[in-house]
Amino acid sequence: MQHAPKPKPPAEGPRHVAIIMDGNGRWAQQRGRPRLFGHQAGARRVRAVVEACPDLGIEYLTIFAFSTENWKRTQSEVSGLMGLFRRYITKEMEGFLREGVRVRFIGDRIRLDPKLRELMDEVETLTAHNCRVNLTIALNYGGRDEVARATKRLAQEVAAGRLDAECVDETTLTRFLDTCVLPDPDLVIRTSGEARISNFLLWQSAYAEYEFIDTLWPDFTPEIFAEVVERFGGRARRFGAVL
């Protein structure tokens, strides 16, 4: 008698997804509109992606909003982006609270406008008890800059005698990173067809799976998100071992 094959156990999905939201400018240019129009469309797309996370089993979502290198863009674009960030945080704050979204920011805040920093502090405080989705926004963030700042703080602890240099290892440095309270990302997605990581979560993504897709960020729908997450479930993650 032939037995029916046992059903496969459900694939384990990613707990933490990080996204490089690329392609806003090109999306706008394709429509004959200024680049800021594309950034506005991209900001609206964030809400749909955040709302999709619980159904996909994603607890942590980290998005790359503005890099340390983005200051090289035109003054008008940078100013427009900073204004967009302020409007976005103000507009979405009630929604974050209602939907149980906890918001954190990573990156070097010193260069940011004081009013923007105040808004960032406010939304972090107001959403601190939320746990349905953990949204981390990387703003004025660069992976190398983060590691340099963490190393500086670590060195200060050693110099002050609060840390033994002989005991410093990978775990020690991790405690000084902006992401010290977050798990490492399981999956990193970059939209727009570019196949590079652009200084994003360099330390944390050592064993992450990557997906580079052609879709421009404003066109990145929850359905596309679900497809990428499903593909993740079919990958064998060895972490250097042999399975």
For the entire predicted model, the pTM comes to 0.91
Active-site residue 70, yes or no? yes
Binding-site positions for Mg(2+): 22, 209
- Catalytic entry in 70, 130, 199, 219: 70
The range of the structural domain enclosing residue 79 comes to 16-141+185-232
If one counts every other C-beta atom within 10 angstroms of the C-beta of residue 241, the result is: 6
Q: Which residues contact 24 (CB under 8 A, 6 or more apart)?
A: 35, 38, 39, 41, 42, 216, 217, 218
CA nearest 85: which of 108, 116, 53, 50?
A: 116
Active-site residue 113, yes or no? no
Is 176 part of any domain? no
Which tens digits make up the pLDDT trace of 168-184? 999 999 999 999 999 99
Number of domains in the chain: 1
**Distance between CA atoms of 214 and 102, rounded to whole angstroms?**
29
CB distance 185 to 201 below 8 Å: yes
Q: Is 1's pLDDT higher than 50?
A: no
Binding-site positions: 22-27, 35, 39, 67-69, 71, 73, 190, 196-198, 209
Backbone angles phi, psi at 133, to 5 degrees: -140, 135
Binding-site positions for substrate: 23-27, 35, 39, 67-69, 71, 73, 190, 196-198
Is 242 part of any domain? no
Is 152 part of any domain? no
Q: If pLDDT is split at 50, 70 and 90, which confidence band does 2 have?
A: very low
Is 21 part of any domain? yes
Is 164 part of any domain? no
Is 159 part of any domain? no
Residue 131: which CATH number? 3.40.1180.10
Which tens digits make up the pLDDT trace of 43-75? 999 999 999 999 999 999 999 999 999 999 999
- Which residues does residue 190 pair with via DSSP β-bridges, in sequence order? 20, 212
